């Protein structure tokens, strides 16, 4: 589906579910990552995440479009268009739009191993845990000003 097809779909959904025309632009925005779509208050345009169409199908896309059109029409009418507003919640129910979109089934990101460096004061034996290396010739113990010595490096998975 291309941007012009998305535009036609949004206009069709706007007329059939809201009884009002959509007079602005609807486009796919490849930069959207964690949301299905967004309504831009300044331009009144709607941006949609194409990944939701590809991975979850057209039904999910239609739900996202209805949700964004709720923001659009309520904002233009000067009514409560935010998620917390009663007008918004009622319009979502009326048109059968989801309050939130489903999560994308992408593979979870691999966790990287944590590196912990352990330093100890050579005089008072106070230990310091750090994530980043310390220049031991430049820094001293905060308690007694003794020399710091690197004891070990732990890697936690």
Alpha-carbon distance values, 32 to 7, 35, 69, 93, 117 (Å): 18, 6, 18, 25, 37
* Integer Cα distance of 42 and 57 in angstroms: 29
R_g (Cα) of the chain, nearest Å = 27
135-151 pLDDT, tens digit each: 999 999 999 999 999 99
Extract the runs of DSSP E, i.e. beta strands, from the chain: 26-28, 37-39, 46-48, 114-121, 127-130, 148-156
**Which residue is catalytic, options 68, 90, 120, 153?**
68
Mean pLDDT in residue range 29-51: 91
Mean pLDDT in residue range 10-17: 94
* Integer Cα distance of 53 and 9 in angstroms: 13
Token pair belonging to 135: 């220049």
- pLDDT given at position 156: 81
Q: Annotate 114-136 with b (16+ C-beta within 10 A) or e (fewer).
A: eeebebbbeeeeeebeeeeeeee
The percentage of the chain sitting over the pLDDT mark of 90, rounded to a whole number, equals: 76
Cβ 91 vs Cβ 70: under 8 Å: yes
Looking only at Cα atoms, what is the longest distance across the chain? 79
- pLDDT given at position 107: 55
The yes-or-no answer on residue 68 being catalytic is: yes
Cβ 46 vs Cβ 38: under 8 Å: yes
100-141 pLDDT, tens digit each: 888 888 756 667 788 999 999 999 999 999 999 999 999 999
């Amino acid at each position: 589906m291309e941007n012009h097809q998305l535009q036609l779909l949004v206009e069709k959904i706007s007329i059939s579910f809201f009884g009002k025309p959509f007079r602005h632009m609807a486009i796919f925005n490849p930069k959207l990552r964690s949301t299905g779509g967004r309504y831009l208050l300044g331009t009144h345009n709607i941006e949609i995440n194409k990944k939701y169409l590809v991975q979850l199908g057209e039904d999910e896309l239609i739900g996202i479009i209805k949700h964004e059109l709720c923001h659009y029409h309520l904002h233009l009418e000067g009514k409560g268009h935010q998620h917390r507003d009663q007008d918004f919640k009622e319009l979502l129910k009326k048109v059968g739009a989801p309050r939130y979109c489903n999560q994308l089934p992408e593979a979870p990101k691999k966790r990287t191993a944590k590196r912990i460096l352990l330093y100890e004061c050579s005089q008072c034996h106070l230990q310091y845990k750090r994530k980043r290396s310390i220049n031991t010739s430049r820094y001293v113990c905060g308690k007694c000003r003794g020399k710091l010595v690197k004891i070990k490096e732990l890697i936690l998975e």
